[in-house]
Amino acid sequence: MTLPSIPHVDIESLEQFDRVLAAGATTMTGWRVQSVDLTRRTAELLGLNPAGAVFLGCVLEDKADLWVRDGGGLVFPAIPALPFDAYRGRLYDADELYAGLERGYDATPDALIYAWSRQHDEKGDTSRTLAAALHDHAIADALTELPDDKPWVGVMGGHGVLRGDANYRAAVLLGRTLARRDRMVVTGGGPGAMEAANLGASLASYDDGVVDRVLAELAAVPSFRPSIATWAGAGLDVRREFPGDGGVSIPTWFYGHEPPNVFASAIAKYFSNAQREDVLLSRARGGIVYLPGAAGTVQEVFQAVTPNYYGDAATQIPLILVDINHWTTTLPVWPLLQSLSANRPMTHSVHLVNTIEEAAQLVS
């Protein structure tokens, strides 16, 4: 039996609501309205059939709220006393997460949300679980709305790589090369190699002289320790002077010690690290490049290896490890990958190289 198809309409702003209404809508069936203040649209709502509509965290007058509920719609009310919108309809950007940075990092939404997550973790408060899950669902939904007109290539690597380090520069050049080859750069969103790859993507339209100048400026604040505010502020100064599309980042408040880098143009920040990792790796269908890292990067290697191991030739994605010495001696991941891939389709999708130029060639 084939179920009837119901048109799906996402409405995430008052302007979108007005456009749909102006197009001649008479019913709200299939509508999903997220975080919109509709207190001044009561008359319009009362003129629409609400059956099958879903309102998530919207502000409605009592009359409109009753109309929707009695008419077969669903109303999920806003959750009070949260430092974030659990039903948000869009991804974050650096300006939002770092708003108020001039008063110190602790005053920013990023820091306040992390503090909230830690407080409620300790209390075992189930309302926190619900709010966090609703938020992460909204982020996942917003992420699917990003354009997919170019292959997404993941760049993974350690958060401890310092600005000014040769490995940081290499990651910048990798992100820049990928963006210039029309790839969407996606990272885990933190500092170090992840920041460098997003920065490189944002500098794709600039010449080598600008890259050198930016790297010299950032090297003056090599790490987010001891001051996240100083580190983020230096990055924001560079971004304002040299704007560009830095790709996507998918960080998490689970790693509260890793502040989000400011160079990604779209930031899909999650509470759940497990969900974030799964989304991050599954979206990078154009391939994943692994720069030297530690436990987190190793986890990401094997999380991406599993579907390749069990998949067939058609489902493989390129997985490229950069730095032969690191992956064979420092952290001998490569020998295990060779053993796993023997006599399987995966043998053609895992690679070990020594330069970012080789890595970029394999995913572009």
73-105 pLDDT per residue, tens: 999 998 888 999 999 999 999 999 999 999 999
At residue 284, what are phi and psi to the nearest 5 degrees? -85, 65
Q: Name the pTM for this structure.
A: 0.92
Write down the pLDDT at residue 5: 55
Question: What pLDDT, on a 0 to 100 scale, did the predictor assign at position 78?
Answer: 86
Neighbours of 304 (CB within 10 A): 24
138 pLDDT tier (thresholds 50, 70, 90): very high
Q: How far apart are CA 43 and CA 40, in angstroms?
A: 8
Confidence of residue 144 (pLDDT cuts 50, 70, 90): very high
Determine the pLDDT at residue 319.
Answer: 97
Sheet holding 31-34, edge to edge: 9-11, 31-34, 54-56, 74-76
Burial of 271 (0-12, 13-18, 19+ CB in 10 A): buried
Q: How confident is the model at residue 124, as a pLDDT?
A: 64
CATH architecture assigned to 152-286: 3-Layer(aba) Sandwich (3.40)
Helices (H) and strands (E) in the chain, counts: 15, 11
Judged against a pLDDT cut of 50, whether residue 24 lies above it is answered with yes
Structure tokens at 206: 């600039």
Asked whether 110 and 97 are in contact (CB, 8 A), the reply is yes
The strand pairing partners of 230, in sequence order, are none
Q: What are phi and psi of 337, to 5 degrees?
A: -60, -40
How is residue 108 written in tokens? Answer: 């920013």
